[in-house]
């Protein structure tokens, strides 16, 4: 017990707020602070994704022009997902689909799936052994439809500038279900600019299309914002180690992402250097964002049997 303070919130803790006004009206937000300058905003109404990430007041993620948008505004057809893509530091894509809109075995699937627009039905948090631990449960179930549940645990160290996101996906239905998940982490200014250094522990790189192939030699080189920039996507094979490093030399600040490449065996680098659309996506997943039909054709689609569960985890460190 610290005799100098009246309440732990003087130094660290979690506070729950609701947004007022605009498309984010009514959304539940958890503001999380540790003792060492790390701050997170967790959006309980958007799959407990991380809308904001700061370190010593410095922004780490990208916030899209639409700003906060409640699930009410989500449109589940085609690429209309983009209209409410807040981005933030983390947007979860899945669970029924990731990537391009497509039709797979007669099912029409939208861009990046619906889990990122699913509110937590139950959420709670507490301090455990030097960590602030948030638990949230999302229900992705329907009659005559898939029956998947996502339990998310976000664990923030109270002293060290690290946190983990651990997900458990459970198939509560009576048939095998395809399950796709991608952790769409979005690096933004001022951590991201033309001087930012990026490294990915990949053994090989391939491109999503010819446009990306034209500039593959510069895939790790960031650029100044450009009008009319066309996005480029690179697919990395990280067979031995899943580590990504981002370093801003002007700020002497870096961010590290760690993941298990055995379970999250598909890593996508999304390079978007547009004016105001200026973001670097670093995206471990169990699939690539080509659409579920393509993952099925290439035998990369993952399934959960009835009653089966699968765990995924990412770890973020900042210094």
pLDDT of residue 242: 97
Q: What is the largest CA-CA distance in the chain?
A: 64
Residue 9 in domain:
no
How much is the pLDDT for 123? 98
- Give the tens place of pLDDT for each residue, 107-139: 999 999 999 999 999 999 999 999 999 999 999
**CA atoms of 277 and 279, how far apart (whole Å):** 6
Rounded to whole angstroms, the Cα distance separating 23 from 292 reads: 30
- pTM of the predicted model over 0.75: yes
Residues lower than pLDDT 50 in the chain? none
Domain count for the chain, please give it: 1
Q: Which domain holds residue 36?
A: 14-318
Identify the helix (H) or strand (E) that includes residue 296.
helix 292-297
d(CA 91, CA 298): 25
| CA distance linking residue 279 with residue 14, whole number of Å | 28
Q: Answer whether residue 3 is part of any domain.
A: no
Instruction: Kindly state whether residue 164 falls inside one of the protein's structural domains.
Output: yes
Residue 7 lies in a domain: no
pLDDT value of residue 149? 98
- Cα angle 172, 176, 178 (rounded to 5 degrees) comes to 100
pLDDT of 1 = 77
**What is the sign of the dihedral through the CA atoms of 289, 291, 295 and 301?**
positive
> What pLDDT, on a 0 to 100 scale, did the predictor assign at position 204?
95
Exposure string over 292-311, b if 16+ CB within 10 A, otherwise e = bbbbeeeeebbebeeeeebe
C-beta of residue 50 within 8 angstroms of C-beta of residue 33: no
Q: Look at residue 138 and tell me if it is in a domain.
A: yes
Whether 214 is covered by a domain: the verdict is yes
Asked if residue 4 belongs to a domain, the reply is no
In a domain, 107, yes or no: yes
Distances (CA, A) of 211 to 123, 197, 207, 249: 43, 22, 8, 29
CA distance 147 to 155: 26
Strand pairing category for 90-95 and 197-200:
unpaired
* CATH number (domain holding residue 226): 2.70.98.10
What's the pLDDT tens digit per position in 271-288? 999 999 999 999 999 999
């Amino acid at each position: 017990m610290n005799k100098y303070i009246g309440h732990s919130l003087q130094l660290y803790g979690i506070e729950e707020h609701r947004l007022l006004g605009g498309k984010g009206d009514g959304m539940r937000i958890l503001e999380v602070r540790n003792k060492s300058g790390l701050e997170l905003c967790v959006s309980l109404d958007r799959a407990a994704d991380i809308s904001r990430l700061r370190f010593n007041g410095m922004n780490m993620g990208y916030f899209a022009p639409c700003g906060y948008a409640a699930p009410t505004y989500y449109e589940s057809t085609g690429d209309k997902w983009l209209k409410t893509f807040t981005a933030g530091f983390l947007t979860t894509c899945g669970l029924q689909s990731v990537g391009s809109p497509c039709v797979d075995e007669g099912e029409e699937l939208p861009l990046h799936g619906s889990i990122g627009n699913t509110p937590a039905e139950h959420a709670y948090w507490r301090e455990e052994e030097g960590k602030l631990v948030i638990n949230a449960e999302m229900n992705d179930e329907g009659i005559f439809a898939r029956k998947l549940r996502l339990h998310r645990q976000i664990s923030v160290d109270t002293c060290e500038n690290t946190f983990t996101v651990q997900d458990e996906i459970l198939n509560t239905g009576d048939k095998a279900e395809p399950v796709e998940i991608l952790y769409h982490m979005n690096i933004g200014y001022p951590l991201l600019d033309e001087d930012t250094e990026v490294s990915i522990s990949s053994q090989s790189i391939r491109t999503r299309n010819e446009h990306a192939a034209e500039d593959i030699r510069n895939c790790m080189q960031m650029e100044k914002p450009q009008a009319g920039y066309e996005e480029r996507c690179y697919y990395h094979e990280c067979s031995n180690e899943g580590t990504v490093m981002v370093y801003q030399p002007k700020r002497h600040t870096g961010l590290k992402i760690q993941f298990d490449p055995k379970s999250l065996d598909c890593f996508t680098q999304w390079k978007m250097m547009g004016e105001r659309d200026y973001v670097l996506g670093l995206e471990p997943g169990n699939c690539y964002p080509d659409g579920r039909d393509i993952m099925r054709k290439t035998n990369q689609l993952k399934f959960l049997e009835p009653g089966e569960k699968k765990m995924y985890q990412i770890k973020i460190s900042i210094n």
